[in-house]
């Protein structure tokens, strides 16, 4: 009991100076990269340039991000965790459709609240439009996240979803929302318009669930 309390006490300050500095360099790299990409374009900005501008070595860049593209996707994991938590913390007996809808809403809201206003989504959209490499990497990340969500859902609803229907359902939903979002962003829509398009697409995607209820 005591050790539990002790552990809980430590949680808030669990970041030492070392960890804080690490996060600082990480943030600096992300911000610097975003700025340079916006100024000169993605292809025209080298990792060496980013490292130089952030005043670290090129090697350090790759200590924080496995590839050049990943510096753009850094917040993806947080969004995935959000979705997974919604699934995990569902009320017992909550219907699949409702849980999936809530999970999706959480991600859309987070995007609307954080990415769109910060201009990060718009930047990402620009980069997606003119760099196939970025496009491929983002798609790949989205796909992996999708697979994780599918797995979580299948564990939560084993009697309804099997090995391939779970991915197909999630694929339909995520596919609908992300295709709509990218189309909207590439058309130069405002953040509000894009959010609206995502919500509409969510409805479309969710109706894929009708195939299971007959």
Residues that bind a copy of itself (CB under 8 A): 132, 135-137, 139-140, 143, 146-147, 150, 163-180, 182-184, 187, 197, 200-201, 203-212
Residue 54 or 150: which CB sits closer to a copy of itself?
150
Near DNA by CB under 7 A: residue from 9, 27, 31, 67: 67
Closer to a copy of itself by CB, 26 or 148: give it.
148
- Closer of 64 and 167 to a copy of itself (Cβ): 167
Q: Does 47 bind DNA (CB under 7 A)?
A: yes
Complete DSSP assignment for the chain: -HHHHHHHHHTTT---HHHHHHHHHHHHHHHHHHHHHHHH-STT--HHHHHHHHTS-HHHHHHH-SSTGGGGSTTHHHHHHHHHHHHHTPPTT--HHHHHHHHHHHHHHHIIIIIHHHTHHHHHHHHHHH-HHHHHHHHHHHHHHHHHHHHHHHHH-TTT--TTHHHHHHHHHHHHHHHHHHHHHHTT--HHHHHHHHHHHHHHHHGGGGGG--
State how far the Cα of 130 lies from the Cα of 126, in Å rounded to an integer: 7
| Complex with DNA: residue 9 or 81, whichever CB lies closer | 9
Q: State the minimum distance, in angstroms, from the CB of residue 100 to a copy of itself.
A: 13
Smallest gap from Cβ 65 to DNA, in A, equals 8
| Between 27 and 132, CB nearer to a copy of itself | 132
Task: List the interface residues with DNA, window 17-36 (CB under 7 A).
Answer: 17-19, 21-22, 24-25
For position 62 contacting DNA by CB under 7 A, the verdict is yes
Residue 97 site contact among a copy of itself, DNA, none (CB < 5 to 8 Å, cut-off depends on kind) = none
Q: Which residue number, 56 or 172, has a Cβ lying nearer to a copy of itself?
A: 172
User: Do the Cβ atoms of 189 and 209 come closer than 8 Å?
Assistant: no
Residue 204 interacting partner from DNA, a copy of itself, none (CB closer than 5 to 8 Å by kind): a copy of itself
Decide: is 136 part of the binding site for DNA (CB under 7 A). no
Count of CB atoms situated within 10 Å of the CB of 48: 11
Could you say which of 38, 52, 53, 60 contacts DNA (CB under 7 A)? 60
- How would you classify residue 131: left for phi > 0, otherwise alpha for psi between -120 and 50, otherwise beta? beta
Q: Which region among 32-40, 49-57, 72-80, 84-92 touches DNA (by CB under 7 A)?
A: 49-57
């Amino acid at each position: 009991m005591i050790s539990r309390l002790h552990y809980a006490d430590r949680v808030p300050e669990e970041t030492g100076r070392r960890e804080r500095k690490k996060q600082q360099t990480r943030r600096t790299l992300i911000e610097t990269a975003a700025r340079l990409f916006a100024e000169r374009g993605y292809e025209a900005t080298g990792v060496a340039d980013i490292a130089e501008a952030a005043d670290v070595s090129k090697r350090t860049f790759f200590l924080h991000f496995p590839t050049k593209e990943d510096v753009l996707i850094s917040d993806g994991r947080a969004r995935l965790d959000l979705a997974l938590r919604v699934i995990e913390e569902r009320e017992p007996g909550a219907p699949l459709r409702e849980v999936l809808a809530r999970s999706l809403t959480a991600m859309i809201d987070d995007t609307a609240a954080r990415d769109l206003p910060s201009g990060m989504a718009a930047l990402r959209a620009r980069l997606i439009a003119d760099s196939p490499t970025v496009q491929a990497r983002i798609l790949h990340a989205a796909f992996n996240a999708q697979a994780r969500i599918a797995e979580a859902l299948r564990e939560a609803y084993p009697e309804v979803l099997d090995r391939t229907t779970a991915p197909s359902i999630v694929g339909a939903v995520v596919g609908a929302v992300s295709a709509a979002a990218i189309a909207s962003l590439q058309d130069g829509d405002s953040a509000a318009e894009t959010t609206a398009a995502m919500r509409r697409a969510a409805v479309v995607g969710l109706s894929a669930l009708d195939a299971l209820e007959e």
